[in-house]
Amino acid sequence: MKVAIVHDYLVNRGGAEKVTLAMHRMWPDAPVFTSLYYPEATFPEFADIDVRTSRLQRLRGDPAEFRRLLPLFGRAMRSLRIEGFDVVVCSSAGFAHHVRPRAGCRIVYCHTPPRFLWDERYDHRAVAPGWSRPALPLALAALRRSDRAAAARAHVYVANSRATAGRIQAIYGRRSVLVHPPVEVNRFAIAPRTGDYYLMVGRLMPHRNMHLAVEAFTTMGRSLVVVGDGPARVSLESIAGPTVRFMGALDDAALVRLYAECRGVVVPGEEDFGIVPLEANAAGRPVVAFSKGGALETVTDGVNGVLFAEESAGAITRAVARADARRFDPVALRSHAEQFSEDVFAHNLRGIVEGAGTCLRCARRRRHRATAATDGNH
């Protein structure tokens, strides 16, 4: 069975890119189709993969500015020539599901329907030039129609969480199969001793409530280490006190060490699924997380972390105090993370892909026999 993998854009080091790499380890001969590829901005493992880009690659500029091309991504993905594959697996949080392979079964592993189109909290002003803003409502309406049409063409939808499955149903009217994303548990180890800092990891985006964590730790005078980059970094740094350190993007060894030696990991906003809480558990560290979205599927209050329900700095402060007062068993936390290992992910996704490919081949054989029978009657 010939498999192709499609991903929105390779311009970050995030959870979606980790999932794409895990897919490629499942099908190492599969090319990865994408709209844009910035080798210096994403995981170095992609350098050893057959990555095929769209025409947008010609416009390649500053990786930090790629979001300004968002209105063009759908058309760019539809223009990709994907031929000769039995199954096309799309890793989509944006427009990967817009591809139109010439044949084969199209399976969409959905991290979330694109926030650019469907999340009311998305700040379009951050990516749209000033002159284009009056036309945004009409442009967004057209892009949403195109996005729904693309979703309707997929043979199978796979959701990374129950929260995402609900959004897929609400936005696209599609049912989906649940397969949690993989956690590379073996990357992490339990440290013999820990420091007194908390850790926050991820793309610095306005909708992720990271400002609340920065406010809370600044007010408490407690140490918070922030790993990652993004459009919200400048505003976050402007409200941060001296106990909050911004590290930017780090290599894997440095990040793994920070996980192992932190007191805990803070996830202040709603995540589609959220690999960060499970990476923290894999390192034997607890999580302080907002009790909505994917966290409800991976964090049990008082068992492998602490949940808070109110979107406020005060709620984070109280949750951190609860986490400090509780003793968590690092071995038990790691054991919990192992339930979401890459082996589990590969087993579940492979079953869906192989089943869909078999159904498609059977359908082709039935059509062939029907055509042969019709021809024989003439």
pLDDT at 372 over 60: no
Give the tokens for residue 95. 């427009």
Contact 156, 105 (CB under 8 A): yes
Question: What digits encode the pLDDT tens for the residues 116-140?
Answer: 899 877 665 555 555 455 667 788 8
- Residue 60 to residue 356: CA distance in whole angstroms: 36
Question: Computed over its alpha carbons, how large is the radius of gyration of the chain?
Answer: 22
Q: For 68-108, how does the pLDDT look when each residue is reduced to its tens digit (9 = 90+)? A: 787 889 999 999 999 999 999 999 999 999 999 988 899 99
Q: State residue 340 phi and psi, 5-degree precision.
A: -115, 30
Q: CATH topology for 186-338?
A: Rossmann fold (3.40.50)
Average pLDDT over residues 18-25: 96
Q: What is the pLDDT of residues 149-191, one digit of tens each?
A: 999 999 999 999 999 999 999 999 999 999 999 999 999 999 9
Contact of 91 with 6, CB cutoff 8 Å = yes
Single-letter residue type at 371: T
Cα-based distances in Å from 362 to 17, 152, 356, 366, 376: 33, 22, 10, 6, 21
What is the per-residue pLDDT across 194-206, written as a single tens digit (0 to 9) for each?
A: 999 999 999 898 8
* pTM beyond cutoff 0.95: no
Residues pairing with 90 in the sheet: 6, 108
Q: What is the pLDDT of residue 359?
A: 55
Asked whether 329 and 304 are in contact (CB, 8 A), the reply is no
Residue 323 has pLDDT above 70, yes or no: yes
Provide the residue ranges of all domains of the chain, joining segments of one domain with +.
3-182+344-374, 186-338
Distance (Å, whole) CA 298 – CA 277:
7
Between CA 91 and CA 282 the distance in angstroms is: 24
For the four alpha carbons of 10, 11, 16 and 19, in that order, the dihedral sign comes to: positive
Domains 3-182+344-374 and 186-338 share a fold: yes
Q: For the domain made up of 3-182+344-374, give the CATH fold.
A: Rossmann fold (3.40.50)
State how far the Cα of 293 lies from the Cα of 353, in Å rounded to an integer: 26
pLDDT in tens, 269-304: 999 898 999 999 999 999 999 999 999 999 999 999
Q: What length is written for the chain?
A: 378
